[in-house]
Amino acid sequence: MSLLRPKAFGHGILAGNKVTGAILWGPPGTGKSLLARGVARQASFNMILASTAELWQKCHGEDEKVIKALFSMARKIHPTIVFIDEADAMLGTRKAGERRHIRAMLNQFLVEWDGLTSGKDSPFILLATNRPFDLDPAGETLGPDVTIEKLVKLTSRYSGSELKNMCVTAGQSVLGSRRRILRTESFFSPFQIGNG
């Protein structure tokens, strides 16, 4: 909807909740690339196809420059969809001992993508993968004491807005910690637990 009706997402509550990307996933040969082209055509957007091979560079620091250039170009030819096929190859889960330049490339991509909500000329990022669970979550990890079932029981009377604010507050509560693990108490202040 944010692609087809950009004016509606330019003000009010929708302005702060614009969807800046999506993931297409399924087995190889199911038409993810064709669907991406169809979305761009239907929305009358330009489309940039970026492959992992093109973004990976041999020299350290060059990856980040290429990613900056990709986002800069996408903003110049706005409205744009940036389509990355086999996204798990570039945006896979970060691992301990991983080469520093691979981490730097992933971080640069996430920084560029994260800054998208500020500008009206921001591209829409469309990822395709057949291994969605290999993608980097780029955020917090749920602790062993947190289950969806438990959260549902504790929030049965919460509105959608309250649930969203609860999740944002939980994320903020672990900002200072190195591993950013969310525990049940991350989601609830003592006052909220009594009223949940």
Same domain membership, residue 99 and residue 13: yes
Same domain membership, residue 88 and residue 170: no
Same domain membership, residue 114 and residue 61: yes
Q: Is the dihedral of CA 151, 154, 158, 164 positive or negative?
A: negative
- The pLDDT assigned to 193 comes to 46
- The pLDDT assigned to 116 comes to 53
Same domain membership, residue 189 and residue 123: no
- The pLDDT assigned to 195 comes to 44
How far, in Å, CA of 34 to CA of 152, rounded? 37
- The pLDDT assigned to 73 comes to 93
Q: Which of 88, 103, 134 is the last residue of a domain?
A: 134
Same domain membership, residue 162 and residue 103: no
**122, amino acid identity:** S
- The pLDDT assigned to 121 comes to 79
- The pLDDT assigned to 38 comes to 92
- The pLDDT assigned to 150 comes to 87
- The pLDDT assigned to 182 comes to 86
Find residue 80's DSSP bridge partners.
46
Geometric angle at alpha carbon 130, from 41 and 135, rounded to 5°: 100
Question: Does residue 1 lie within any of the structural domains?
Answer: no
Q: Which domain holds residue 79?
A: 6-134
Same domain membership, residue 27 and residue 123: yes
Would you call 28 exposed, middle or buried from its count of C-beta atoms within 10 A (0-12, 13-18, 19+)? exposed
Q: Which of 114, 134, 154 is the last residue of a domain?
A: 134
Q: How many domains does the chain have?
A: 2
How far, in Å, CA of 187 to CA of 174, rounded? 10
How far, in Å, CA of 174 to CA of 48, rounded? 36
Question: Does residue 175 lie within any of the structural domains?
Answer: yes
- The pLDDT assigned to 80 comes to 92
Residue ranges in the chain modelled with pLDDT below 70? 1-4, 13-18, 57-60, 92-103, 114-120, 136-138, 140, 175-176, 178, 189-196
